[in-house]
Amino acid sequence: MLSDTYGRVATDLRVSLTDRCNLRCTYCMPEEGLRWLPRPELLTDDEIVRLVTVAVRELGVTEVRFTGGEPLLRPGLVSIVERCAALTPRPRLSLTSNGIGLERVAAALRAAGLDRVNVSLDTLDPQTFRALTRRDRHADVLRGLAAARAAGLDPVKVNAVLMPGVNDTEAPELLDWAIRHGYELRFIEQMPLDPQHGWQRDTMITAEDILRSLATRFALTPESAEARGAAPAERWTVDGGPHRVGVIASVTRPFCRTCDRTRLTADGQVRTCLFAREESDLRGALRGGADDTELAERWRTAMHGKKAGSGLDDPSFLQPQRPMSAIGG
């Protein structure tokens, strides 16, 4: 098990496959992009599969989410998914993507064993999309979402971040659109993970702001805490169901007490939290000849020291030095 001193057990592994991305979202990275990790520093396909195998067979991980950067930019993605789907016990496999290129590979990913996808889409307006992402790829994302649904990667979840003065009035429109297309919408509070360190708590769109906006058009009924479990999203049924909407309030309603995640960066570092400022190196041990038992023990040691919370409410909070693209969101 991957347990910590607060009684939490990590069963959900987030694996960053690359720090590269083909968008330049304003809340994630600067327009010119970032200095990408050198290729020799990235885990190879075999190394990723081996560490996932250790997590599943030795440490009790039951869910694996592939992230980035943009994981669809990883050339060996389909093979990695297929090899992880062949593990015993078989973990549930998912992918977080910006949707660009998903139209081309959705069917192959489903055939390889991927169970579902999360796709980021913050706006229904192509011009606003261009302003937010600095790229003209809105139609590609919509086609990727449709392809995921057609391939059976259900439920197709759509993640949206609302920004003040940009898309903050779009919540009801986004939910209406998601319901019509059979997607499950989740709003995510903007988090302080941008390398520009431009995030400001007093101007962010909060969960309460989002819910007030949605309530102007929809009747929302909260799900029970039991139904939520360790999931990061609080969920509401919409107009009596069956459709649901979620809000991940990482900043204003942190869920640290029930967190069940462990994270592996694209260069083989264990992170206990998105906001952690410390990492534990598995890549060095793996390349130094460590066997699975040693790798598992190093991972256990890293997770045992997980802090009680993210520290967002502490006046001394400092953003992680690494940007979100390197961490794996």
pLDDT digits over 106-120, tens only?
999 999 999 999 999
How many CB atoms are located within 10 Å of the residue 218 CB?
Answer: 19
Q: Which neighbouring-strand residues pair with 177?
A: none
- Report how far residue 154's alpha carbon sits from residue 183's, in angstroms, rounded to the nearest whole number: 9
Residues 5, 304 contacting (CB under 8 angstroms): yes
- Report how far residue 260's alpha carbon sits from residue 61's, in angstroms, rounded to the nearest whole number: 10
Give pLDDT, residue 313: 65
Is 84 annotated as contributing to ligand binding? no
Give me the torsion for CA of 102, 99, 268, 281, rounded to 10°: -160
User: For residue 84, what are the CA distances in angstroms to 16, 80, 230, 283?
Assistant: 14, 6, 23, 19
Tens-digit pLDDT profile for residues 212-246: 999 999 999 999 877 777 788 899 999 998 999 99
Is 65 annotated as contributing to ligand binding? yes
How many CB atoms are located within 10 Å of the residue 214 CB?
Answer: 22
Is 120 annotated as contributing to ligand binding? yes
Is 25 annotated as contributing to ligand binding? yes
Residues 156, 121 contacting (CB under 8 angstroms): no
- Report how far residue 50's alpha carbon sits from residue 296's, in angstroms, rounded to the nearest whole number: 11
Give pLDDT, residue 216: 97
Tokens of 52: 């996932």
- Rounded to the nearest integer, the mean pLDDT of the chain is 91
The reported pTM is: 0.92
Question: Residue 315: pLDDT above 70?
Answer: no
Task: Please give the share of the chain, as a percent, with pLDDT higher than 90.
Answer: 73
Closest CA to 188 of 212, 160, 168, 222: 160
Is 28 annotated as contributing to ligand binding? yes
Only one residue has tokens 């003040």, namely: 164
Is 14 annotated as contributing to ligand binding? yes
